[in-house]
Amino acid sequence: MPISLHAPLDMHLHLRDGDMLSRVAPLSAHTFSGALVMPNLVPPVESREDVLQYKSRILEAIGDARFTPYMTLFFKPTYSREFLESVHDDVTAIKLYPAGITTNSEGGVSGFDVEELRPALEAMSDLGIPLCIHGETGGFVMDREAEFVPIYEKLATHFPRLKIIMEHITTKESVEALDRFDNLYATITLHHLIITLDEVAGGMLQPHLFCKPIAKRPEDREALLRVALDAHPKVMFGSDSAPHPREAKECPGCAAGVFTAPIALQLLTELFETNGASLEKLQAFVSGNARQIYHLEPQPKEVVLAKEPFTVPENYDGVVPFYFGTTLDYTVHTVI
């Protein structure tokens, strides 16, 4: 029996720029109604002009596809209220990166002093602009996200009117924090619902599974699955699909990022079915919750998936996807 998903949304997507943008943007635009586009380019997206120019390049790359790029700014503590008012209608959220913690984040926040952050975050609270955060410290790699939870709690307490999205959470500690604060929300990726660190490095090293935050323990994956499969109203799908050319992944100093955009809906459908979750829960996880959290009205799009074998290509124009060479249970049959 075919499964229809209405206006699916990817609330954490890397489209890169230049040649890579032209390669990967059409793949997301084909099956998603819209996506929250991350701003950690080189140079980062830091001004209204940057936002508008990047959005224009995205729209050019996707051609006639029905797809809305929801734009973000790279957070700076120096943003003034006047500046934030000027970009209010052009951005959906602002993304905060701890300095140097992930790809192209060297210009991020190096400390989390509440008073230093207060002017910008109070203005965002007043204007209703959500704050998305890559929540990791510079500690031991397996502990970085759990160590960041007290920072989430501090920000949620000091700025109770600020909607804070914990991006691509990977730990049970982050899941537990969701229900302690009314203003904390989260995105969850496809790959963190499936893999643990064992799949990445338990045998031969798998560079195409290496990402930041790194996959964690089985108990962390189970916590993520529990809230995703139940479509907890404060979680939503964000792929964190992060394309790199094959030569940047299969090398010393392997780049961090898992490329899932072209197979996300097929594999999510299979995952929800295998675990006995309903189609209504899947619809909420890939669209409904994000629409409520961000107050979005995405462009109409219906993606019909058929239960027919689909073998994931070895690469998409030089970018190796998650589960490459594997045969999935579902294929995208039509997009209306």
> What pLDDT digit, counting tens, does each position of 40-88 carry?
999 999 999 999 999 999 999 999 999 999 999 999 999 999 999 999 9
Round to whole Å and give the CA distance between 303 and 295.
Answer: 21
Report whether pLDDT(122) > 90. yes
- pLDDT number for residue 130: 98
Q: With cut-offs at 50, 70 and 90, classify the pLDDT of residue 271.
A: very high
- What whole-number percentage of the chain has pLDDT above 90? 96
Catalytic site residue from 220, 240, 317, 329: 240
Q: With cut-offs at 50, 70 and 90, classify the pLDDT of residue 23.
A: very high
- pLDDT number for residue 103: 85
Round to whole Å and give the CA distance between 47 and 53.
Answer: 10
Mean pLDDT to the nearest integer, 168-187:
98
Query: Residue 260: CA atoms inside 13 Å, Cβ hemisphere, count?
Result: 26
- pLDDT number for residue 10: 99
- Active site includes 182? no
The CATH number of domain 3-335, selected from 3.40.190.10, 3.20.20.140, 3.50.50.60, 3.30.70.1520: 3.20.20.140
> Are the C-beta atoms of residues 303 and 332 closer than 8 Å to each other?
yes
Mean pLDDT to the nearest integer, 103-128:
93
Tokens coding 69: 């790029």
Report whether pLDDT(1) > 90. no
Full-model pTM? 0.98
Mean pLDDT to the nearest integer, 119-148:
97
DSSP 68-123: EEE-EEE--TT--HHHHHHHTTT-SEEEE-BTTSSTT-TTSBS---HHHHHHHHHH
- pLDDT number for residue 106: 87
Q: Which of 182, 181, 208, 212 is nearest to 108 (CA)?
A: 212
Q: With cut-offs at 50, 70 and 90, classify the pLDDT of residue 104.
A: confident
Report whether pLDDT(111) > 90. no
pLDDT tens readout for residues 229-261: 999 999 999 999 999 999 999 999 999 999 999
Phi, psi of 9 (to 5 degrees): -125, 140
Q: Which of 69, 64, 78 is nearest to 39 (CA)?
A: 69
